[in-house]
Chains A and B, each alone.
Chain A
Amino acid sequence: MTIKATELLVFSALFGVAAVLGFIASRWKPGRSMDHLDEWALGGRKFGSWITWFLMGGNIYTGYTLIAVPALLFASGASGFYAIPYLILAYPLAFLPLLRMWSVSRVHGYVTAADFVRGRYGSSALALLVAITGIVATLPFIALQLVAIEAVLRTMGLNESGLVGHLPLFIAFVVLALFTYQSGLRAPALIAFVKDILIYLVILVAVLYLPIKLGGWDSIFGAADAKFQQTQSGQDGLLLGGDNQLQYATFALGSALALFLYPHALTGVLATRSRNVIKRNMSALPLYSLLLGLVALLGYCAIAAGVRPLQNAGTDSSDSSTTIPVLFDQQFPSWFAGMAFAAIGIGALVPAAIMAIGAANLWTRNIYKAYVRPDATPEMETRQARSASLLVALGAVLCIVVIDPQFAVDLQLFGGVIILQTLPAVAISLYTRWFHRQALVIGWLVGIGYGLWMLYYVPNPATGRLHFGGPGYPLRDISLLGLWTPFPGSDKTVYVGFFALLANLAVAVAGTLLLRQLRVFNGVDGTRPTDYLADDSEADTRVTPVQERVGRYSAGPARR
């Protein structure tokens, strides 16, 4: 395979610009001190509407998403389009809970969802479970961003086997880890601007130009239809079949509910300046969904253009994540393809950095500070979080290099299911403290255990795998402890996470009723009802300016 010099040159130049921006970002709107998590991890909690829009856009519509969603449509058609209803729903559903989360976090200085759970229930154990869930769910997500970077690198001809094949990825990883360590959340916030300009430019050109070149949408959909007609599987096609509609809906709903439970999404929200910034972004962020909807249709353009995904020399199998990169490589002049690849590569850097920060925060606040060094000062916390972000990024790269990219995909599927299990403890608890903390722990265990068990038994006939074949569990196999099968003989499938959440909620409700009957102590609530309504305004003295707080800490050792 030959190396495509022009593409690689354009890619490297733009990637280099992003890296430089990442390093100088530490001097962008600096706070009084970088030795505080509010500064390193949340950019001083002062991001306005525009910065947040770019940051969250990069955070949710990741480089991996932009190649994985069209690859899904390329492979199986309509069911891959679930990403659109998922993202239509995510913002309206999260709109009100996020405002409460922001306010209570601002008043109490919470940095993670687990911080909130700890404050709400006075339970480090429940907070620990939420933290571990967040870390486990985030790691494969970072790994997948590296998969996206590797997909464009391999398309550009750097497709070697063994460790040499992973060398370019190592370079990208080192860049990512170092600027995250150096600049914290400011780095992805600044890079997101560049990434977005690139990505909008590339996608608009591609979406206008490709249909014309390939004979219009009519013939593109026609080609896709012809491809799906040839296969024997009932799971693909231009429309949903009778059996996968329920899965389509539950997968979209489950993903929408899970989105803002992910640590990286919440990190972006907590970094905002005020409640109105969040409201404005919940209204404006869906514009990225429009972009994603158009990108998704590029999967059909790839069918019409006769794209064949690359043979990955590292894993020696057909690499579906190269579908869209190959499409750009074939259809566009090399300088433009290079720009598109840079957009994907940089688009992967932004979320990867935020994810590393989110996971590092969970480790620092809810494991290190809660169990290892309860007396840690803000300086020590920040030092710990910075080192942890390096380790998290290293773990992600090892997952790709040492294990298998497919493992990251499987783990990501699992991650979505388990992060959804923190919904009762985090999202519902924003509204009510009715649940008992011990019941929440048991519900969490049941939800995750059941989810994992179901995922294990999902086969994938298309790839010939027996386990972890996908997110859809057959309805006929649902049973209540083997005693009662509510849907015998049904061929419909349902999203695993959805049923796991139902089981989780049922157990949590039953457990709460029991524990309340037994009058078991339910911890002390460290929050007050008005904390959930606080806003950043002059009149609201509950909200201490971040500058003041950070400055006080950095002046000397913590007061007692």
Chain B
Amino acid sequence: MTSVSPPRTPRPPQRPRQQRLQWNSWNLLLLVPLLALFTPLFNRVNPKLFGMPFFYWFQILNIFVGVALTSLVYMTTREDDYFGGGGGGGGGGGRPDRLGADWRDQADWREQADWRDQADWRNQGAGR
């Protein structure tokens, strides 16, 4: 769906390859509800249900379809997120992506007055 082109900003040369996107084909189900935008499909009166024109009950029914699809994606991708994907050149899921303890402190970059200093720690971190 989305490809990531490398930004032109200077990067440390020995930066490890990291998984950038977690992809699961089940995610494609999330695009199905876009059919709800195709008005000619349901802009009609018949067949009625309990006296309700098709336009109304069909769209209300679509809510359940949406719920079913998102639930299905949730259930099929539930296990993907533990360990945040394979990092550090590990080449795939299931491996804990443990970052060094120093990373904890770096995550608090916002307490630094000038965030640009952060470029330095990124270079250090990559060589870890």
8 Å CB interface, A208-236 against B: 216-221
| Nearest CB in chain A: distance from B14 CB, A | 15
- Pair A238/B67 contact, Cβ less than 8 Å: no
| Nearest CB in chain B: distance from A472 CB, A | 14
A290→B65 CA distance, assembly (Å)? 12
Residues of B contacting A537 in the complex (Cβ-Cβ under 8 angstroms): 82-83
Interface size on B, residues (CB 8 A): 74
Residues of A contacting B51 in the complex (Cβ-Cβ under 8 angstroms): 216-221
Given contacts A88-B33, A432-B5, contact A530 B84 (CB under 8 A): yes
Most buried by B among A103, A289, A522, A549: A289
| Nearest CB in chain A: distance from B26 CB, A | 11
Most buried by A among B81, B115, B116: B81
A284 nearest CB neighbor, chain B only? B67
Q: Mark A288-321, 1 if CB is under 8 A from B, else 0.
A: 0110011001000000000000000000000000
- Pair B103/A542 contact, Cβ less than 8 Å: yes
Question: CB within 8 A of A239: which of B45, B70, B96, B104?
Answer: B45
One of A248-256, A335-343, A392-400 at the interface: A248-256
- Pair A540/B97 contact, Cβ less than 8 Å: yes
Given contacts A238-B55, A283-B71, A284-B67, contact A524 B116 (CB under 8 A): yes
Residues of A contacting B122 in the complex (Cβ-Cβ under 8 angstroms): 524, 526, 528
- Pair A245/B39 contact, Cβ less than 8 Å: yes
Residues of B contacting A95 in the complex (Cβ-Cβ under 8 angstroms): 30, 70, 73
- Of the A-B pairs whose beta carbons lie under 8 Å apart in the complex, a sample of 19, sorted by A's number, is A84-B62, A88-B63, A89-B66, A96-B27, A103-B84, A107-B107, A220-B51, A252-B36, A276-B74, A286-B63, A432-B5, A521-B9, A522-B9, A530-B18, A530-B85, A539-B82, A539-B83, A542-B97, A549-B108
Q: Return the 5 tightest CB-CB contacts between A and B, nearest first.
A: A218-B51, A217-B51, A92-B30, A533-B84, A249-B37
| A328 touches B (CB below 8 Å) | no
8 Å CB interface, B10-25 against A: 18-22
B37 nearest CB neighbor, chain A only? A249
A91→B71 CA distance, assembly (Å)? 11
| A467 touches B (CB below 8 Å) | no
Interface size on A, residues (CB 8 A): 78
A217 nearest CB neighbor, chain B only? B51
| A386 touches B (CB below 8 Å) | no
Interface residues of A (CB under 8 A from B): 78, 81, 84-85, 87-89, 91-93, 95-96, 99, 103, 107-109, 115, 118-119, 122, 216-221, 238-240, 245, 248-249, 252-253, 275-276, 279-280, 282-284, 286-287, 289-290, 293-294, 297, 374-375, 431-434, 516, 519, 521-526, 528-530, 533-535, 537, 539-542, 544, 549, 558-559
A535→B77 CA distance, assembly (Å)? 13
8 Å CB interface, B69-128 against A: 69-71, 73-74, 77-78, 81-85, 87, 96-101, 103-104, 107-111, 113, 115-116, 118-119, 122
Question: CB within 8 A of A276: which of B73, B78, B109?
Answer: B78
A291 nearest CB neighbor, chain B only? B63
Residues of A contacting B81 in the complex (Cβ-Cβ under 8 angstroms): 99, 275-276, 533, 535
A62→B126 CA distance, assembly (Å)? 46
Residues of B contacting A524 in the complex (Cβ-Cβ under 8 angstroms): 9, 116, 118-119, 122
